[in-house]
Structure formats: C-alpha cells, structure tokens
A and B are shown apart, each in its own frame.
Chain A
Amino acid sequence: MRTLRRGLILSAGVTALALTVAGCAPASDTEPAAPNDAAIESDGELTLYAGRDEALIAPLIEQFTEDTGIEVSARYGSSPELNALLLEEGDNSPAQVFLSQDAGALGSLANADLVSKIPAEFADLIPAGFTSEDDSWIGVTGRARVIAYDTEKLSEDEIPDGVEELTDPKWSGRVGFPPGNASFQSFVTALRVLEGEEDAEAWVEGISKNSPVLTEKNGATLDLVNSGQLDLALINHYYWYEDAAEVGADGMRAQLKFLPGDAGGMVNVTGAAILAGAEGDPDALAFIEYLVSEKAQQFFVENTYEYPLLPGVAAPEGLPELESLVNPQLDLSDLESLEITQELLAQYGLL
C-alpha cells in the first residue's frame, strides 16, 4: 500500500502544481465590447495556439520575445486538432492568437464567430487574394500545390502540365494524394470554381476510378515517391525542401513540377487570427504585426521555404515567381465551399 500511498501523494502534488499553473495562466476575460485601441493595457504575455511544427516556429517566437519583451506561452499541435480544440473551447478559450497551417481552419473559426477583426493597418499589408476578405484572419505565407515525381522512372517533360491528364488510364495506380488533407481539398474546390461543377465532378470520378494511392498526409505521400513506391504525388511544395534539408538535396529521388495557371498548381496560404476574447489586446496585435513584418517573412523564406506574402520580400531561391502561379480567376473566398467538395469526394469513395 506504500506505493499506492506514494502515488497518491504524487498525484496530489500534480494537482497542486496544476492549480498553480491555472492560477498563473493569463486571464483572457478582456471585454469584447472594449474599443480596439488603447483600452487594454499590455500584460506582456501572449497565449498562442500554433498549428505548425514546433521545431520550425519556436525560433521565430523566441525572436519575437527578444524583440518585444512579450512572453509567449505557445501550445503546439496540428492545425486540425487545435481547430477542433478551439471550437470545443468556444468563448472560454485561453488562446489569444491562432497560427494555422491552412486557411480552412481559420475560416471555420470565423464562421463560428470565434475571431475578432484584424486591424486594417496590418490586414492591408497583404495583397488581396492571399488573406481573408473580411479581415477575420490574416495571410502569413503561401504554399504552392505541385506534382512530385520519381526521377528514376520519369523525366520532367513526361509530367503533365495540369491535373486533368491524371485521369488518363496511363496513370492508373501511379498517383497518390491525401484526400483528407485541407490543402488537397482546397485544390479540388479551386477545380470546381475554375472548371465548373460538372468538369470537377468528372475529374473526381475519373481519378477515383484510376486506382489512386490514398494517404493521410502530404509528407508521407512524398516519402512514397522518394522511396520509389509511387510515381506521382499531389502535395505542397515545401515538404520537398524540408526533406531536402534533412537528407540533403542530392539524396532526393523525387523532384517537383510546378503547374502555373492550373487548379492543381494553386497557392494555399497559412494565416493567423486573433481570438474573440483577445480583441484589442496589444500583445496579440504586436504578434500579428510581427508575423507580417519583413523580418518574420524573411524567416519563413529561409526556414520553411514558403512564399512570403509581404510585397517586396523575395521568394525562396529556385522557386517560380508567386505571380506566375496565381490564377487571377480564383479568389480565396471562393474556396469556402469546402463542404460541397467533401461531399463530392465522399460520393466517389475518396473520403
């Protein structure tokens, strides 16, 4: 029984510790009715939910603290999980800012009325098309959809310039993608917007009958190409650069083909939102300001190989110009009809 008793004491210790932590947690009971500026004083602390990899983002946050003196308590997780958490927490969320890996998660928070407006002075820094229309969140970086191909089996000129060809029997069983992934679904939504519902449905039907390799994640799909198990993967461009940083660019069997002008080569964005409870909080605003500053944008270019969205900051070396990938007929706000896309994918057994 001694062991059990010791366990009890330990758990009581945990509880006490927990209570202390709870007591120290920044209160997020700022009045939503307060006017935007000046009304709330900075407490020098920020609670951030970060839906991106800790190893990539933590250095940026440390730099932010160094520059501004604002202490950040960051909760890392995957964007979908943090999004589910934020929806469940609702108005009681301790989070002040949510940094998301995709726009869809931010859109769903906006739809649930859980975010507050980004002040125009920051929102206007990011060109339209790469941020929310109603300033409910702000775009931070861009990531292009690409085809990754196995260089040992295919040469670049054999790779289609658009996704349409992939329904050809020639590619049967050779194409892989993560149908549950937000950026893949954004691409299918873009296809619907650009080509019309009928053509999009025809493509989804065609690809579903072409024995696609269904995966859970972009990164894992690229790994399949890299190990020679898959010929083509529909993924985001920066996964390749992350892998290349780990194993060296020479070790990469897979190479990327960008698809300018095609729905399959569209640009998705990552972004950030201020939660409703943190409206007007100077620390939250300082963080948003920092994310779209030249310094932070440069950080993303160098460390995550994503497109900077702040005009004047150059894209990572070796990537095609962001402008060349952007389809002028496509507006991010058109991509909110995600549910219809999911129904479409479910109808053909992809979800």
Chain B
Amino acid sequence: MQQRVDERVADLGVESIAAASIAVEPIRETVGRRPPRMLLLLALVACAIASIPLVYLLVRVGSSGLEDAVTVLGRPRVPQLLLNTVSLAAAVTATCVLVGVPTAFLLARTRLRLRGMWTVLAALPLAVPSYLAAYGWLAAVPGMQGFGASWLVLTLVSTPYVTLPVMAALRAGTTGLDDVARTLGRSAWHAFWLGTWPQIRPATLAGALLVCLYVLSEFGAVALLRFPVLTTAIQQAYGASFNRNYAAILATVLVLLAMIIVIAEQTARGRARRRFGAVTGVARHRIVNLGHWTVPSIALLSVVPALAVGLPVAVLFARLFEAETLRALDPVELGQAILNTLALSIGGAVIAVILALPIGALAARYRGRLVRLIESLGYLALGLPGIVVGLSLVFFSLSVMPALYQTGFVLAFAYGVLFMPKAIGAIRSATAQVPTSLEDVSRTLGYGQLQTWWFVTARLARPGIFAGALLVAVTAMKELPATLLLRPTGTDTLAIELWSRTDVSAYGAAAPYAAALILVAAVPAFLLSGAGRGRVDGTAS
C-alpha cells in the first residue's frame, strides 16, 4: 500500500528503485523486441506534431539562405550570447541539483516536523512565473542585473524540477545498499554515494534536463535582469529589425544546443539504468534523526520558498499600497481571466498527455535508435523560446486548420506541443513501473493490445500520467509569449493581464492578478508535492 502512495508522489521522470526492482528486468526482456506497429505509428504522429516548430525553423532558415546564416553567426556578439546562454544554463542546472537533492533528502529521509508543510513549500516556486520573481527581486534590490542576478532568480524558480522527482525516488528507494556498504567499512557519505545515489541518479538527471532546457528557452527574467542571451537576441530580432530570418537562425542555434543536452541526458540515463540493473530488494529505508543539524536543515528548506515566493509577493503588495493611482479592480474581469487560464491550461495538459502517452510508453518499453530519436525530438520544443513556438503554430494552423486559427483550441494545442516534454518523463517512468507480466496475463486472457494498455497499463500508470498533466498545467498557466500570439482576440489569461499591467508600470493594478496567478498555480504545485495525500512520513522507519 505504501508503495502505491509513493508512486502517486510527483514522479517527474523517475526510474526509482522500487520501479527498477520490478521493471528493470522486464526492460531487459523487451530489448530486441519490436514495438507494436500501432504504438510506433502513434508515437511517430506525436513526434511529428512536436516537430512543428523545428520544421518551421528549417523553412525560415532555408528561405534565408546559407550566406545569411554565415553572416549572422559571424556577428561579433554571437559568441558572447552563446557563451552567456551556456554558462547560465550550466550554472542554474548545477545549483538546482546542489540545492534540490539535499532538500529532497530532508523531505524524504529525515525526521522532520511539519513535513507536509515543508513539502508544499518546496513545490510552491513552480507557481511563480520567472518574470514575476525577477520583477519582485528588481523592485527589492534595484541594483541587481547580469549573470549573478539571472542565475539566482532562475535557480529559485526551477529548483522544484529537481526536488520533486528526487524526493519521489528517495521515498520509493532503499537504504539497504548503504547498510551493506557501511558494514564493509565505508563512511556514511561514501555509503550514500555507493548505495543511494545510483537510485536517485535517473531522477536527478531527468530534473536537471527540465531545468537546463527551461533556462535555454527562458526570456522574461533574463530580459528584466539585463543578461543578454540567445533568447533576448531572438526577441530583439523579432522586435526592432523585423528580420525573421535572423531570429530563426539564432533559434536554430538554440535547438542545436537543446539537442546536445537531450542526447547527453539520454546517454547518461542509459548508463545509469544498466549499472542499476543488478539491484533488487524491497523498498525500505531508514529515517535519519537530524539532531544538531535541525537548524541548518530548516534554513535550507526555507531559503528557496522564501526567496522565490515570499519576496516577490511581499514586494508586489508593498507596491500595491504605495501606488498613488489605484485603479479599481474589476472582479468580473479577474474571474474571467481565472476561468480562461484554467480552461486553457487544462486543455493544454490533456493535449500534452495525449501526445506524450505513445512516446512515453515507447521509451519505457523499447530501445533502439528510432525510439531514442522519437524521444529526443519530443523534448526539443522545450528548449525553444515561446515566441518561436507561437509563430510556428500561427504558420501551421493558418495553413492546416485556418478555421481554428485564434481559437482556444490552437492555444491549448500550442501548450500541448510546448510542454509535452514535461509529461514524457513522468509517463515513461510510470509505464516502466508496470510489470510486463501483468500485460502478458491480460493478453493470454484474450484482451487486445489496446485493451490491455487501457485496462492494465494506463490504470496502473495513472499517478505518473496525472503528475505529468499537472506539471504541464502549472507551466501553461504562467506561459506568456505563445499566449500573446495565439490567444483568441479579446481573451485574457492571468499571465496576460499581469503582463499588460506591469508593462505600464501600474504595479498597484498588477498585484491582484499576480496573487491570483500564484494562487491558481499553487493548486497543481500542491498536488505535485504529494503532500495532503494522507502521507505522514517514511513509514518504513
């Protein structure tokens, strides 16, 4: 039973040990087996849809010609932009891992008071849009700018991408191997490294991948904090120069970077899984008493939520009372924006899950070059700035389904394409946890492939699928650039209302919308944290 609860916990792409103890063997079995044609076909369709932005970029770059591309890439500023982008992504990812893994350990493996509250707080930064966090920091510390500032703000808002999956892996994992190492004379740290780290490594990698791709595509915070990266240059190119080809060439550079990162993660994950294959055992772990580590631990747990959520909200409300011109809040407008935000983000989550299901299922059960290609193409949209994805869907929907252009459907579809990668990892690991033997039983009882998938695999993988959907929904609620381009004329979401108010420096008027956005997005963040599901602590102690 405890196992079931654990699985529900936000599993954002985890190959946890509990999963591995059941699923690693089946994975080995299926190696060399060919994926069913139906599944492959569905995955290819999903992959083609996910590649719309990529195709669009190729068309744009193709129309500008090689010569233009060489000129653009030869500009003196391009190497600097590239260096800034790569170093920011590397620094933020590293810090998120360094903060997220210990945080996850504290939440999953130590005797902690108010664990539920701390868990929710750890997930809450997901609800804060990066531009809002950056804005709050700027208002509080007017001097901040550049690399350090961008690094700080992006780390604060993206740490949960690492914390949540690692926490789930730790909860489902075992300390049995650590104990073996200890009895063989290793130090506690060394034992952790040998016993536990391999169990949480895939989860850490999956989280790090999401953080890294997110930083590559981020625009709002780096623009506010004046750190020039590729995305700001892309936005500028669309801005003053109206030179869409220049923008497309820079975006292609970004895609190549994303591709390298996705492949690196796949390679690292593949190795981890093999090393891990020998491990078997029951998920049982010791709970650590913090003792005199309590105070530093509480400090670590408080720092991210306080700086990522507390500070921007406090600053915004301080401004609310400072502002001389308080525009009256229109409750109907606010309510409408909340409803639109909910409907569009839920629609986006459903579409993302539908697209991610075949890719996740394929990646969980089968190997091979084609499978790897499909999976990595599925991830690429996450590394692209929203404006590029938005424009590509303008292009696509006008040429393929013009009747639906500027409707809620196309916007929800864009969310689906943009954030599908966030669902792939969760679905992949949840599917991997379902023993193939159960599917075999279902087949021998006369169920077809699709029926088996629906009645056995999907039912058992439900918590993971749900976690993936939640993650897409929380991100879609905050999305701005694609929303600006694709929303139905006259339809406002919370993010848009917030943006239009900060743009005229009407901070006072922005505060209620910022608060509403954080509150609405806090709901999926809360569900993702896995708290409030009646789980008190590591019952295995």
- B394 near A85 (CB under 8 angstroms)? yes
A14 within 8 A of B: yes
Binds B, one of A71-79, A154-162, A255-263, A269-277: A71-79
- B242 near A108 (CB under 8 angstroms)? yes
- A19 near B143 (CB under 8 angstroms)? no
- B238 near A21 (CB under 8 angstroms)? no
Which of A21, A104, A242 gathers the greatest number of chain B CB atoms within 10 Å? A21
Mark interface residues in B193-225 (1 if CB within 8 Å of A CB, else 0): 000000000000000000000000000000110
CB-CB < 8 A to A89: which residues of B?
A: 394, 398
A22-B484 contact given A242-B505, A243-B505, CB 8 Å threshold? no
- B239 near A18 (CB under 8 angstroms)? no
A25-B77 contact given A14-B347, A215-B226, A216-B226, CB 8 Å threshold? no
Given A243-B505, A349-B76, 13 new contacts (CB under 8 A): A10-B346, A10-B347, A11-B351, A15-B347, A15-B409, A18-B410, A21-B407, A25-B406, A80-B238, A81-B239, A85-B485, A94-B405, A184-B240
- CB-CB contacts below 8 Å: A174-192 with B: 180-182, 184-185
CB-CB < 8 A to A10: which residues of B?
A: 343, 346-347, 350
Instruction: Enumerate the 6 nearest inter-chain pairs by beta-carbon distance, A residue then B residue, closest first.
Output: A18-B407, A180-B236, A80-B239, A11-B347, A18-B408, A108-B242
CB-CB < 8 A to A77: which residues of B?
A: 484-485
Residue of B nearest to A85 (CB): B485
Nearest-neighbour CB distance to chain B for A104, whole angstroms, equals 7
- B325 near A246 (CB under 8 angstroms)? yes
Residues of B in contact with A, size category: 35 or more
- B142 near A87 (CB under 8 angstroms)? no
Q: How many A-B contacts if CB must be within 8 Å?
A: 190
- How far is B350's CA from A90's CA once the two chains are assembled, in angstroms? 31
- How far is B284's CA from A44's CA once the two chains are assembled, in angstroms? 70
CB-CB < 8 A to B462: which residues of A?
A: 1, 4
A13 within 8 A of B: yes
Binds A, one of B28-36, B272-280, B496-504: B496-504
B344 within 8 A of A: yes
A4-B459 contact given A22-B404, A104-B240, A180-B239, CB 8 Å threshold? no
A80-B343 contact given A7-B350, A15-B408, CB 8 Å threshold? no
- Of the candidates B238, B350, B395, which one forms a contact with A8 in the assembled complex, judged by CB atoms under 8 Å apart? B350
CB-CB < 8 A to A1: which residues of B?
A: 458-459, 462
- CB-CB contacts below 8 Å: A141-180 with B: 180
A18-B409 contact given A80-B240, A216-B223, CB 8 Å threshold? yes
- How far is B365's CA from A280's CA once the two chains are assembled, in angstroms? 61
- A104 near B242 (CB under 8 angstroms)? yes
Mark interface residues in B381-412 (1 if CB within 8 Å of A CB, else 0): 00000010001001100100011111111101
CB-CB < 8 A to A219: which residues of B?
A: 503, 505
CB-CB < 8 A to B509: which residues of A?
A: 55
- Of the candidates A15, A75, A246, which one forms a contact with B324 in the assembled complex, judged by CB atoms under 8 Å apart? A246
What are 22 A-B interface contacts by the 8 Å CB criterion?
A4-B466, A7-B350, A19-B409, A22-B405, A25-B406, A55-B500, A55-B506, A80-B238, A84-B242, A84-B391, A85-B394, A87-B242, A88-B398, A92-B405, A105-B242, A180-B236, A219-B503, A229-B143, A246-B505, A247-B322, A339-B243, A351-B75
A7-B391 contact given A84-B244, A181-B240, CB 8 Å threshold? no
Which of A73, A75, A216 gathers the greatest number of chain B CB atoms within 10 Å? A216
- How far is B410's CA from A342's CA once the two chains are assembled, in angstroms? 34
CB-CB < 8 A to A247: which residues of B?
A: 322-324
Nearest-neighbour CB distance to chain A for B164, whole angstroms, equals 19
CB-CB < 8 A to B76: which residues of A?
A: 346-349
CB-CB < 8 A to A202: which residues of B?
A: none
B444 within 8 A of A: no
A83 within 8 A of B: yes
A94-B406 contact given A246-B323, A248-B324, CB 8 Å threshold? yes
A30 within 8 A of B: no
- A351 near B353 (CB under 8 angstroms)? no
Residue of A nearest to B324 (CB): A248
A324 within 8 A of B: no
- B403 near A22 (CB under 8 angstroms)? yes
Residue of B nearest to A80 (CB): B239
List residues of B whose CB falls within 8 A of some A CB: 75-77, 80, 142-143, 223-224, 226, 228, 232-233, 235-236, 238-244, 322-325, 327, 343-344, 346-347, 349-351, 353, 387, 391, 394-395, 398, 402-410, 412, 458-459, 462, 465-466, 469, 481, 484-485, 488-490, 500-501, 503-509
- How far is B243's CA from A182's CA once the two chains are assembled, in angstroms? 13
Residue of A nearest to B487 (CB): A75
CB-CB < 8 A to B503: which residues of A?
A: 53, 78, 219
- B232 near A216 (CB under 8 angstroms)? yes
Nearest-neighbour CB distance to chain A for B430, whole angstroms, equals 13
Mark interface residues in A276-294 (1 if CB within 8 Å of B CB, else 0): 0000000000000000000
Which of B344, B351, B394, B508 gathers the greatest number of chain A CB atoms within 10 Å? B394
CB-CB < 8 A to B395: which residues of A?
A: 88
Chain B facing A: main interface SS: helix
Nearest-neighbour CB distance to chain A for B527, whole angstroms, equals 10
Nearest-neighbour CB distance to chain A for B55, whole angstroms, equals 14
- A22 near B407 (CB under 8 angstroms)? yes
- B490 near A74 (CB under 8 angstroms)? yes
CB-CB < 8 A to B143: which residues of A?
A: 227, 229
CB-CB < 8 A to B485: which residues of A?
A: 77, 81, 84-85
- B242 near A7 (CB under 8 angstroms)? no
CB-CB < 8 A to B241: which residues of A?
A: 185, 338-339, 342
- How far is B272's CA from A194's CA once the two chains are assembled, in angstroms? 65
CB-CB < 8 A to A215: which residues of B?
A: 226
- B226 near A14 (CB under 8 angstroms)? no
- A14 near B408 (CB under 8 angstroms)? yes
- How far is B515's CA from A265's CA once the two chains are assembled, in angstroms? 41
Which of B226, B240, B403, B408 gathers the greatest number of chain A CB atoms within 10 Å? B240
A47 within 8 A of B: yes
Residue of A nearest to B485 (CB): A85
Residue of A nearest to B527 (CB): A3
Which of B387, B462, B500 gathers the greatest number of chain A CB atoms within 10 Å? B500
- B408 near A346 (CB under 8 angstroms)? no
- How far is B165's CA from A237's CA once the two chains are assembled, in angstroms? 50
A220 within 8 A of B: yes
A22-B350 contact given A92-B398, A180-B239, A214-B226, CB 8 Å threshold? no
A205 within 8 A of B: no
- A75 near B490 (CB under 8 angstroms)? yes
CB-CB < 8 A to B490: which residues of A?
A: 73-75
CB-CB < 8 A to B75: which residues of A?
A: 346-347, 351
- A7 near B238 (CB under 8 angstroms)? no
Residue of A nearest to B223 (CB): A216
A4-B353 contact given A76-B500, A81-B485, A180-B239, CB 8 Å threshold? yes
CB-CB < 8 A to B409: which residues of A?
A: 14-15, 18-19
- How far is B346's CA from A48's CA once the two chains are assembled, in angstroms? 29
- Of the candidates B142, B239, B407, B504, which one forms a contact with A56 in the assembled complex, judged by CB atoms under 8 Å apart? B504
- B489 near A13 (CB under 8 angstroms)? no
Nearest-neighbour CB distance to chain B for A36, whole angstroms, equals 26
Residue of A nearest to B226 (CB): A215
Residue of A nearest to B340 (CB): A14
- How far is B503's CA from A77's CA once the two chains are assembled, in angstroms? 10
A313 within 8 A of B: no
A34 within 8 A of B: no
- How far is B233's CA from A100's CA once the two chains are assembled, in angstroms? 22
- Of the candidates B412, B505, B506, which one forms a contact with A11 in the assembled complex, judged by CB atoms under 8 Å apart? B412
- How far is B405's CA from A267's CA once the two chains are assembled, in angstroms? 38
Nearest-neighbour CB distance to chain B for A251, whole angstroms, equals 8
